Structure 1
Amino acid sequence: MTDDSKYKTVQGLVRGLDVLYALNRLDGGASIADLSSQTGLHRTTVRRLLETLIGEGYVRRSESYESYWLERRVRDLSEGYRDEQWISSLAAPCSANCCRRCSGPPT
C-alpha cells in the first residue's frame, strides 16, 4: 500500500496473488507444501486460496500427483498490458517534477 492511498490493502488478494506468482515461478506442478514454503503462508491458507483459484478457473488440481498447475486463464490477466506502458510509469514522476520547476511560481 502506498502512503498516499486511503484504502487498506486487501490481504486475501495479496495472498492469492502470492500463490499464483509462486506457482508460476515453480514452473510446473507444485504441492501445497511447495507453495506454503515459497509464500510463507500456512498450508491451510494455501489450500483455501487454491480452491478459490480453481473455482475461478486460474488453477487446476492433478489428482494423480497431488499437485496444482496454472490454467490458461492466468494468461488473460496480462491481455490488457502493453510493454510500452512501463515507460510512462517511469517517466510520469520525472515529467511532473519538471513541469512544476518550469512553470515557476503562480502570478
Structure 2
Amino acid sequence: MATENYFWQSELADGSIQLGLNEAGRELLGEIRYVDLPQVNQTVKAGEMLIEVEAEKMVQDLPTPITGEVVTVHQALKDQPELLSSPDSQKNWVVTLKK
C-alpha cells in the first residue's frame, strides 16, 4: 500500500502543502462515513497515519505522503465526512502542512 496512492498535494502561495483525497483513494474507499482528523500543530512524519476513515468498503488508516506540521484542518469533515468522496478539491482537502 503506497502512501502516494491516497492524497493529492498542492503547494500554496505561502509554501505550505495542502493534501486531499485523490481519485484512487476515493475509488478504493467508497462513500466515507467517518473521519478522524489530526490536530493543528501536530507533527506528522511521512508514512505515519494522517487520518483514519470509516468508509463503505473498509476502515483504513491513511498515511501522510510528506512530513510536516499541521497548520490547518478541514473542520467541516467532522460533520460532513462525505465531502472526502467529492471530486472537488475545495471539498475533499484534509489538511495543510508546513514543512
Q: Shorter-normalised TM-score: what interval?
A: under 0.3
**Higher CA-based Rg:** 1
Identify the structure with the greater helix proportion. Answer: 1
Length-normalised TM-score, structure 2: 0.26
TM (normalized to structure 1)? 0.25
